[in-house]
């Protein structure tokens, strides 16, 4: 794998840090006029999602990470693994619970997800920004109340629980923003 000098640091660059693949979020060059230059870097650990800050002496090199984001179709879960397929090559890949993480509550069969591969193995799954999911359980709807005030919890087909307006009923299809976990609207279906 290639190595990168601090002069090549930029947002989005994938590097290895403490044995984990990471992505550079922000790179700041700091240097006293008559002194040593440093790169103060904000980095996301792609395995844990944690953001840390690291300082490098300018001019040092670090190992690059073989990380690739691919768009894969979610097929099914067997309880232990979540199976995805490349819609072009039909090649299948299985991701474990650590890689899928919180995405599991938004995964609907056949949806296209972004799967991050490190050395060809999945380390993170990002669901689509918006998903349409059916309500499997909620308190009876209050017909005609479209005010959106108050609201109530509803359980969706994937097991996720979101706050919805009072008029929502079991069987309704809802559009959800997976980045915030919030209800957006009823979906026509």
Q: Pick from 2, 10, 11, 30: which binds other proteins (CB under 8 A)?
A: 30
CB distance 66 to 1 below 8 Å: yes
Q: CB neighbours of 170 closer than 8 A, spacing ≥ 6?
A: 135, 136, 137, 138
Q: Pick from 11, 50, 51, 57: which binds other proteins (CB under 8 A)?
A: 57
Question: How far apart are CB 23 and other proteins at their closest, in Å?
Answer: 18
Asked if residue 54 binds other proteins (CB under 8 A), the reply is yes
Question: How far apart are CB 123 and other proteins at their closest, in Å?
Answer: 23
Measured CA to CA, the distance from residue 109 to residue 111 in angstroms comes to: 6
Using the rule CB under 8 A, give the single segment among 27-35, 134-142, 153-161, 166-174 that binds other proteins: 27-35
Q: Pick from 56, 81, 130, 167: which binds other proteins (CB under 8 A)?
A: 56
Measured CA to CA, the distance from residue 87 to residue 113 in angstroms comes to: 11
How many residues bind other proteins, per CB under 8 A? 21
Asked if residue 3 binds other proteins (CB under 8 A), the reply is no
Asked if residue 25 binds other proteins (CB under 8 A), the reply is no
Asked if residue 60 binds other proteins (CB under 8 A), the reply is yes
**Which residues share a beta bridge with 154?**
138, 162
Tokens at 12, concatenated: 């989005």
Our CB check for other proteins shows the closer of 30 and 112 to be 30
Pairing of strands 92-96, 38-45: unpaired
Asked if residue 16 binds other proteins (CB under 8 A), the reply is no
CB distance 187 to 135 below 8 Å: no
Asked if residue 36 binds other proteins (CB under 8 A), the reply is yes
CA atoms within 13 A on the CB side of 184: 14
Asked if residue 42 binds other proteins (CB under 8 A), the reply is no
Tokens at 50, concatenated: 């944690």
Chain positions contacting other proteins, by CB under 8 A: 7, 28-38, 40, 53-60
């Amino acid at each position: 794998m290639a190595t990168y000098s601090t002069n090549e640091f930029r947002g989005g660059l994938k590097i290895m840090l403490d044995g984990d693949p990471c992505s550079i979020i922000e790179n700041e060059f700091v240097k006293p006029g008559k002194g040593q230059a440093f790169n103060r870097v904000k980095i996301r650990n792609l395995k844990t999602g944690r953001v840390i800050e690291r300082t490098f002496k300018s001019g040092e090199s670090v190992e690059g990470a073989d990380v690739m984001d691919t768009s894969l179709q979610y097929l099914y879960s067997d309880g232990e693994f979540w199976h995805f397929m490349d819609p072009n090559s039909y090649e299948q890949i299985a991701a474990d619970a650590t890689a899928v993480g919180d995405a599991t509550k938004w995964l609907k069969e056949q949806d296209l997800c972004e799967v991050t591969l490190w050395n060809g193995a999945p380390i993170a799954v990002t669901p689509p920004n918006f998903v349409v999911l059916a309500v499997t359980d909620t308190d009876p709807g209050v017909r005609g109340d479209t005010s959106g005030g108050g609201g109530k919890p509803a359980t969706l087909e994937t097991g996720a629980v979101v706050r919805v307006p009072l008029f929502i009923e079991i069987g309704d299809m809802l559009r959800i923003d997976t980045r915030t976990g919030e209800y957006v609207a009823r979906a026509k279906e």
